[in-house]
Amino acid sequence: MKIVTLNAKTLIIAAVAFVTVFCILMIAVSGGVFNGGETTGASGRVGGKELPIYRVKTSESDKRISITFDNAWGADDIPSILATLKKYNAKATFFVLGTWAEKFPEIVKQIYDEGHEIANHSYAHYKPTKLSEQGIKDEISKCNAAIKNVTGKECKIYRAPYGDYNDLVVKTAEQMGMYMIQWDVDSLDWKDEMSADAIYQRVIERVRPGSIVLFHNDTNHTQDILPKILEKLYSDGYQFVTISELIYKDGYIIDNNGEQQINQ
């Protein structure tokens, strides 16, 4: 029988290699490659890319969805939108600019007082991928301050302007304790060429349990088509909840389609 002997240098190299591989595996398991958002933050690392939450995985019988509005310009249609939401017992999430909150504090307070969620859409609507890490932090923190000044409540929900993000944007938001939100149903209501019927069809055909639906206020058709959309979804058994009520706060992953799921 041939006996193989290993010298001290070979043993040291082997030990270092083993420890390196072991550490990489432990980081992958505990640091977000397989397990996103253990305590705060909305990102889950999938295939090396940071993703926000586009939708939430629910059972087919759990027909909760979130209706969301991005608010950046005017506010004349907000009373009409709020009246429609109240009619269908719908709670929505309004993503507001900090500048919008400062310009329309009474409107923001009314939205909040009627049981809806006020969320962060940045302070001044800059594309966050064009900003430095500090610039991203400033946009989020200034908007949070403007929201808290009106509602008295800390904000933990963030949507980037234009839906614009990269790894730095997602990780920065996460480090600030924010859950970053996209959407899986885009109404395209901001496009002037979109008719009310086209907006209706887009939404109704795409919604499913766990969906996050994107609308905007201050558009040509949103306030007028919203009652028809909510009537149809309500009759189909959907419940309308805020983003904070829809998403998982911990123990989740986000798959490569942006769907948030319980980590099992």
Q: Which residues are catalytic?
A: 70, 216
3-state secondary structure of 95: strand
Measured in degrees and rounded to the nearest 5, phi and psi for residue 230 equal -70, -35
Residue type, 31: G
- Closest to 248 in 3D by CA, of 53, 3, 34: 53
- How far from 226 is each of 81, 184, 185, 216, CA to CA, in Å? 8, 18, 14, 11
48 Rama sector, left if φ>0, alpha if ψ -120 to 50, beta otherwise: left
- Amino acid identity of residue 52, one-letter, is P
Task: Please state, in angstroms and rounded to a whole number, the distance separating the CA atoms of residues 121 and 140.
Answer: 8
**CA–CA distance, 260 with 248 (Å, rounded to integer):** 8
Sign of CA dihedral 179, 184, 190, 196: negative
Only one residue has tokens 């919604």, namely 207
